[in-house]
Amino acid sequence: MNQERYVAAIEISSSKIIAVVGKVQNNGQLEIIATEQERWVEGVRYGIIQNPEETATRIRRILDRLQRKPAVQPREITGLYVGLSGRSLRSLPTEVGLNLPPDTEINDDILGRLRALALKAAIDSSLEVVDAIPRIYTVGKSQTHSPKGAIGDRINAIYDLIVCRPELRRNIERTLTDKVGIHIEGYIVTALSTAQVILSSEQKRLGCMFVDMGAETTEVSIYKGGHLQYFATLPLGGRNITRDITSERLLEEKAEELKITIGNALPRDISTSMNVDGVRTSEVLNLVVARSEEIVANIVEQISYAGLKEADLPAGVICIGGGSKLNGILELIANQTGMKVERGGLPSYIRIEDGKAHQMEMMEVASVLYSGGMNSEGECLAKPKAELPKTGEGNPEEREEEERKTREKAQKSKSSFFKSWGEKISSIFGAPDDDNSDLIE
C-alpha cells in the first residue's frame, strides 16, 4: 500500500528565507503542498546568519503561516531539514585506505570505517567537515564505483570532503534550535542536493558543470563518470551587479529593477543617450556587462581548477538560480566556453501543488526537502494531541455515560428509600405493639 509522510525544509539565503511542507510517498514521489517565504537581505551575508534574533522572528512568522494553511492543518511543524549554502562551502579531495585480511569481502561495515577515516582527515582548523562523498574506490588493483561485494586485501577511496566555516552551522543552530525552538532533522548541502535532483544520470556520466547563480554567491559543481569531481562556491552573484548600478546614485531597489528590465550581460554597441529616471541607459548596460563578464570568467575557470577541459564535459553547463535570469547571461557562458548551456528544471517526480509558488524559486528548497525525505524515515509534522479535560471534566461521551450511571444510581436509591419507608409505615399502622425505635430516629 502507498504510504506518505509529511516533511518540511527551510532555505536561509542572502536574498530570502523560504520554507516548504511536502508529502513524500514510498514510490519516490514528492508533493509540495505549502510554501511560504520572506525577503530578507540584511540579516544573512554569504550564507551566514548575521542577526539570529531578527532571522528567528521572520522564521516564526513563516512557520506560523505554513501551519495555518488548509493543506497542513491541523498538523504542527516539529522539525526541519536545513539547506546549507554559503561562501565557505567547497570540496577538498582526500584519500584513505584500509588493510584487510586476505580474501575479504567488502561490506557495509568496512565502507563505514573507510568513510569515518575520511571524515577525520586533517584539514584547515578554520573549517569543519559537513559530508564525505566518495569519488572512486580501489579494491586490490581494480577501480570501481560499487565496491560492496568485491574481494580484496586492501581498499582505498578518494573522497570529496565538503567543508565550511563552523559559523555557518553554529548560527543556524543558534537561530532555529535556541530561538525558534524547532528540531533540526538534518543538514543538506543545497548545491549538491539540487544537482542530484536536477541533473540526469546521463549528464553526470558524460560530464557536466552545474551552476547555481545566487544573490551573493555562485556555486559550481562538476560531474564526470557519474560522480562529483569538484565543488566550489564563488563570492560573486547577482547582487554584485545590482550594487554596481547603485553607483549611479540609485537605491538598491531601483538598481535591481533596472538590471532586470534593461540590463543585458552581452556586450553590444551602445550609442544611445536615453535616460531612465535620470540615469543614462548606456552606463547601466556597461556596468552590467563588466560585472557579468567577471562572474562568468570565474565560473569558467573552475573547469581548469578541477583538472579538466571544456571537451571533458560534453553534457555542457546547466544553470539555475535567480542570477541566471539576467538577460544574456546564459549566452555569455556559451560564448566564453563554446559549450552547450541550458536552464535546469525540477523532475516530474517533484510536484508543486501550491499555485503561488514559482518553480525557479522552489528548486533549491524542493531539492533539500526531497533529499531529506528520501534519506530518512522520520516525519517533520505531527498532529496535535487532544487537549486534556479540565479537572473534574471528561470528554462528552465519558460525561454522558457518567451522568447515565448517576441517574440509574439515584433511581435505585430513590426506589429503595420509598420501599424501606413504606415498610416502616406499614409496620407502624399494622403492628402497634412492635418496637417504635425507628420513629425516634
- Report the percentage of the chain scoring pLDDT > 90: 73
Q: What is the pLDDT of residues 230-244, one digit of tens each?
A: 999 999 999 999 999
d(CA 372, CA 188): 7
Cβ atoms of 138 and 155 within 8 Å: the answer is yes
Three-class SS state of 388: coil
Q: What is the pLDDT of residues 157-185, one digit of tens each?
A: 999 999 999 999 999 999 999 999 999 99
Cβ atoms of 301 and 307 within 8 Å: the answer is no
pLDDT (mean) for 49-78: 95
Beta strands in 40-78 (DSSP E): 44-45, 48-49, 76-77
d(CA 217, CA 50): 16
Which residues, at least 6 apart from 325, have a Cβ–Cβ distance to it below 8 Å?
260, 360
Alpha helical stretches, state H, 179-270 = 190-198, 201-206, 238-245, 252-261
d(CA 176, CA 321): 25
Question: Binning pLDDT at 50, 70 and 90, where does residue 424 land?
Answer: very low
We find that the CATH architecture of domain 90-164 is: 2-Layer Sandwich (3.30)
If you average pLDDT over every residue of the chain, what do you get? 88
Cβ atoms of 214 and 321 within 8 Å: the answer is yes
Cβ atoms of 226 and 204 within 8 Å: the answer is yes
Evaluate if residue 434 carries a pLDDT over 80. no
pLDDT number for residue 388: 54
DSSP 277-295: TTEEHHHHHHHHHHHHHHH
Residues in the chain: 441
Which residues, at least 6 apart from 434, have a Cβ–Cβ distance to it below 8 Å?
427
Evaluate if residue 321 carries a pLDDT over 90. yes
Q: What is the pLDDT of residues 398-421, one digit of tens each?
A: 556 666 565 565 555 545 444 444
CATH 3.30.1360.200 matches 4-88+166-382: no
d(CA 284, CA 292): 12
pLDDT number for residue 395: 56
Q: What is the pLDDT of residues 211-220, one digit of tens each?
A: 999 999 999 9
C-alpha grid cell for residue 47?
Answer: 550564507
Give phi and psi for 2, each to the nearest 5.
Answer: -80, 120
pLDDT number for residue 439: 31
pLDDT number for residue 431: 42
Cβ atoms of 354 and 340 within 8 Å: the answer is no
d(CA 29, CA 11): 21
Evaluate if residue 441 carries a pLDDT over 50. no
Q: Which of these ranges, 251-255, 334-338, 346-350, 382-386, has the smallest mean pLDDT?
A: 382-386
pLDDT (mean) for 138-166: 95
pLDDT number for residue 49: 94
Q: What is the pLDDT of residues 86-139, one digit of tens each?
A: 999 999 999 999 999 999 999 999 999 999 999 999 888 899 999 999 999 999
Cβ atoms of 339 and 313 within 8 Å: the answer is yes
Placement of cell 553590444 in the chain: 268
pLDDT number for residue 427: 42
Question: Binning pLDDT at 50, 70 and 90, where does residue 397 land?
Answer: low
Which residues, at least 6 apart from 238, have a Cβ–Cβ distance to it below 8 Å?
213, 214, 215, 259, 321, 322, 323, 326
Question: Binning pLDDT at 50, 70 and 90, where does residue 8 land?
Answer: very high
d(CA 287, CA 282): 9
d(CA 88, CA 168): 8
Which residue ranges make up each domain of the chain? Answer: 4-88+166-382, 90-164
Q: What is the pLDDT of residues 339-394, one digit of tens each?
A: 999 999 999 999 999 878 888 889 999 999 999 999 888 899 998 776 555 555 55
Kindly list the strands in the beta sheet with 30-39, ordered across the sheet, starting from the edge strand earlier in the chain: 183-189, 79-84, 4-12, 16-25, 30-39, 350-352
Give phi and psi for 216, each to the nearest 5.
Answer: -115, -15
Three-class SS state of 372: helix
First to last CA, the chain: 74
C-alpha grid cell for residue 3?
Answer: 504510504
Evaluate if residue 265 carries a pLDDT over 80. yes
Closest by Cα among 356, 376, 351 to 22: 351
From the number of C-beta atoms within 10 Å of its C-beta (0-12, 13-18, 19+), residue 425 rates as exposed
d(CA 269, CA 292): 16
pTM of the model: 0.83
